């Protein structure tokens, strides 16, 4: 009985990774423990860490957790991301602090993300480290401890044997304890799939299940192995009206339920294939590395290129050389007046520097300009009232005095390697470009600095966000030409609607708060619109968008008036095109 109780108490540690256990004074009961809730960091996104602090003193005590995430690329080419968290331990209590440590995006071949964590402050100093290796095209998978223990070795072998070419690492998945799942969707944002049992789903907290479902709408894949034949989307609380259904596509993501025996043993080869097939979208990390750097990113093509005016600067430098050399020597400070060189030379150098700086500012200006394309799924149903955004953006900057900015919405930001140019700093060929990024979480926001935006540079980013919204399309009358109302606070250029009888309808120039009527349209017209829209997106975003047009009872629309997720405030966004979709609701 004692052994059983010990195993039950130790179970959470088996599914997690202890980063450090620090006891500042053996005579005191004070201690600080940091535990990674996933035993491997993802190639991007965040690593959830639980910090447990016992403070027996009569005063609150402050301490800091700082972290450095690296992709361990060749030499100094790889990127690095630093973050810090200021925490307080209440007096006389044991407190738990769940933090999300940002992970740098793996941009090198065979990326090996690592996270180093450090404790500093009134409890003393300690450190820990966690690393992983993910294959170039391997999906990042989270696997629950009850499935991991009996199946990990077989799954590793099946994946490494090449059953699915997308898997390239000997380690199939990261593991987690379903009772300690994070309740912030961003904790899962670096992963492609989560695999667990129906029992695991039941023991997870309501907040954790909600976070996973929100991440799922953004493109994540949920695979549930059910020991009960009664488990379906409805009984598991995943989809209302899902009684009897064991699979579904939810916005950009998918859910699949498969049977499993009570001993939780999987047919490894079959499971690898099932998990691979369940994913609706291509692998996130491989898409980031490959979709934007091959010269075929539509947004970069539309944004256009720019070239440095080398000739003008070369002429100025030649003139400077002539002026500071022979003219200075034989005119300004000729023989007998050489002492003037101490005056004329600095003046000429300073004047040339001012001229060069003035030309750079005149040509490139301050701040920058850019373009954005957004795919947005709006879900007013089931009391979600949320918008799920995939935002691609490219910008070109002039002179920047600071690269700092904030993300005020719950979002993730990934730098994109773009096609090589005179302005590009991050490309597929420089393995992360030696970039140094900074992120500091602050009261729900992210404060960012470092190389996210650099002076006189081109940079691309992928933003994924979930924001609250009351915007929706309401159907007031569906008899004859549908009569609808938009509650969005921006105009819509064109809207298409697929009814449950297979009819296709269209409306143009829709104003906020005004009723509009749809006109009949053809399936081929809608298909042309969807094809053109998909062609304006990157490969992964296009794959997310295309299936959304064929859902009965849903609309699909386009507008250049919707706001995007703001990043660096100095960028003037010349155009933000948003492809908007979601269910039609009845008031």
pLDDT digits (tens, 9 = 90+) for 113-172: 899 999 999 999 999 999 998 888 889 999 999 999 999 999 988 887 754 444 445 689
Q: Mark whether 581 and 499 lie in a shared domain.
A: yes
Q: Mark whether 488 and 547 lie in a shared domain.
A: yes
pLDDT (tens digit per residue) in 237-290: 998 776 888 999 999 999 999 999 999 999 999 999 999 888 889 999 999 999
Q: How many domains does the chain have?
A: 3
105 inside domain: yes
- β-pairing, 436-442 with 80-89? parallel
Residue 372 contacts residue 464 (beta carbons within 8 Å): no
Last residue of a domain, one of 80, 107, 133: 133
Q: CA angle, corner 218, sides to 213 and 219, nearest 5?
A: 95
What residues contact residue 16 under an 8 Å CB cut-off, 6+ apart? 35, 36, 37, 38, 39, 50, 176, 177, 180
List C-alpha distances in Å: 349 to 5, 301, 355: 78, 40, 10
First to last CA, the chain: 58
The helix (run of H) or strand (run of E) holding residue 483 is strand 483-486
Beta bridge partners of 130: 115
Q: Give dist(CA 208, CA 210) in Å, integer.
A: 5
Name the DSSP class of 511. Answer: P
Whether residue 331 has pLDDT greater than 50: yes
Q: Cα 94 to the chain's mean position, in Å?
A: 33
Q: Give dist(CA 362, CA 235) in Å, integer.
A: 64
Residue 146 contacts residue 200 (beta carbons within 8 Å): yes
Q: What is the mean pLDDT of residues 465-481?
A: 88
Q: Mark whether 43 and 128 lie in a shared domain.
A: yes
Q: Mark whether 350 and 493 lie in a shared domain.
A: no
Q: Give dist(CA 57, CA 30) in Å, integer.
A: 8
What pLDDT was estimated at residue 348?
77
Q: CA angle, corner 294, sides to 289 and 299, nearest 5?
A: 90
List C-alpha distances in Å: 82 to 49, 285, 446: 15, 20, 13
Q: Mark whether 374 and 495 lie in a shared domain.
A: yes
Residue 79 contacts residue 71 (beta carbons within 8 Å): yes
Q: Mark whether 399 and 541 lie in a shared domain.
A: yes
Using 50, 70 and 90 to split pLDDT, how confident is the model at 74?
low
Q: Mark whether 399 and 508 lie in a shared domain.
A: yes
Last residue of a domain, one of 115, 133, 151: 133
Residues spanned by the domain of 350: 310-364
298 inside domain: no
Q: Mark whether 50 and 120 lie in a shared domain.
A: yes
pTM score, whole prediction: 0.89
E strands, 43-102, are: 46-55, 61-70, 80-89, 93-102
Indicate which CATH number applies to the domain containing 122. Answer: 2.60.40.10
Last residue of a domain, one of 109, 133, 157: 133
More confident residue, 394 or 435: 394
89 inside domain: yes
């Amino acid at each position: 009985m004692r052994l059983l109780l010990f195993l039950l108490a130790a179970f959470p540690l088996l599914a997690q990774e202890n980063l450090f256990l620090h006891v500042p004074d053996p005579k005191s009961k004070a201690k600080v423990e940091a535990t990674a809730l996933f035993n491997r960091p993802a190639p991007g996104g965040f690593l959830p860490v639980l910090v447990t602090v016992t403070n027996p003193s009569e005063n609150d005590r402050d301490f800091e957790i700082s972290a450095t995430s690296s992709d361990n690329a060749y030499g100094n080419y790889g990127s690095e991301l630093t973050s810090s968290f200021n925490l307080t331990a209440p007096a006389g209590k044991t407190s738990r602090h769940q933090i999300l440590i940002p992970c740098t995006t793996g941009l090198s071949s065979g990326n090996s993300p690592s996270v180093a964590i450090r404790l500093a402050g009134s409890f003393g100093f300690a450190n820990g480290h966690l690393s992983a290796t993910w294959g170039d095209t391997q999906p990042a998978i989270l696997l629950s401890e009850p499935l991991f223990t009996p199946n990990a070795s077989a799954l590793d072998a099946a994946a490494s044997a090449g059953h699915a070419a997308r898997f390239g690492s000997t380690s199939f998945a990261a593991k987690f304890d379903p009772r300690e799942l994070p309740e912030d969707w961003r904790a899962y944002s670096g992963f492609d799939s989560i695999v667990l049992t129906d029992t695991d789903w039941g023991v997870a907290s309501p907040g954790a299940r909600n976070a996973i479902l929100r991440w799922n709408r953004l493109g994540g894949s949920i695979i549930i192995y059910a020991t009960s034949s009664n488990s379906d989307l409805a009984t598991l609380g995943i989809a209302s009206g899902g009684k009897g259904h064991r699979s579904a596509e939810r916005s950009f993501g998918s859910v699949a339920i498969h049977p499993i025996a009570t001993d939780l043993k999987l047919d490894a080869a079959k499971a690898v294939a099932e998990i691979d097939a369940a994913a609706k979208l291509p692998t996130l990390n491989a898409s980031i590395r490959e979709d934007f750097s091959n010269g075929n990113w539509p947004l970069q093509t539309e944004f256009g290129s720019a070239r440095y005016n080398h000739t003008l600067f070369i002429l100025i430098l030649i003139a400077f050389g002539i002026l500071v050399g022979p003219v200075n020597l034989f005119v300004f400070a000729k023989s007998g007046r050489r002492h003037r060189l101490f005056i004329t030379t600095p003046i000429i150098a300073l004047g040339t520097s001012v001229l060069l700086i003035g030309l750079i500012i005149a040509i490139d200006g301050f701040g920058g300009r850019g373009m954005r394309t957004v795919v947005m799924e709006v879900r007013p149903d089931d009391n979600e009232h949320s918008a799920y955004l995939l935002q691609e953006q490219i910008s070109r900057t002039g002179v920047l005095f600071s690269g700092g900015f904030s993300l005020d919405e719950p979002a993730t930001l990934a730098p994109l390697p773009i096609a090589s140019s005179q302005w590009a700093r991050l490309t597929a060929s420089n393995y992360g470009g030696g970039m140094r990024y900074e992120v500091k979480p602050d009261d729900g926001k992210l404060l960012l600095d470092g190389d996210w935006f650099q002076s006189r540079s081109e940079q691309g980013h992928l933003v994924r966000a979930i924001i609250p919204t009351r915007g929706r399309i309401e159907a007031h009358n569906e008899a004859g030409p549908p009569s609808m109302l938009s509650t969005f606070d921006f105009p819509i250029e064109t809207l298409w609607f697929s009814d449950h009888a297979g009819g296709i309808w269209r409306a143009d120039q829709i104003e906020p708060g005004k009723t509009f009527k749809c006109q009949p349209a053809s399936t081929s017209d809608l298909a042309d619109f969807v094809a053109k829209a998909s062609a304006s997106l990157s490969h992964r975003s296009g794959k997310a968008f295309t299936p959304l047009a064929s859902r009965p009872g849903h609309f699909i629309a386009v507008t250049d008036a919707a706001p995007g997720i703001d990043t660096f405030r100095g960028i003037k966004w010349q155009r933000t095109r948003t492809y908007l979709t979601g269910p039609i609701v009845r008031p």
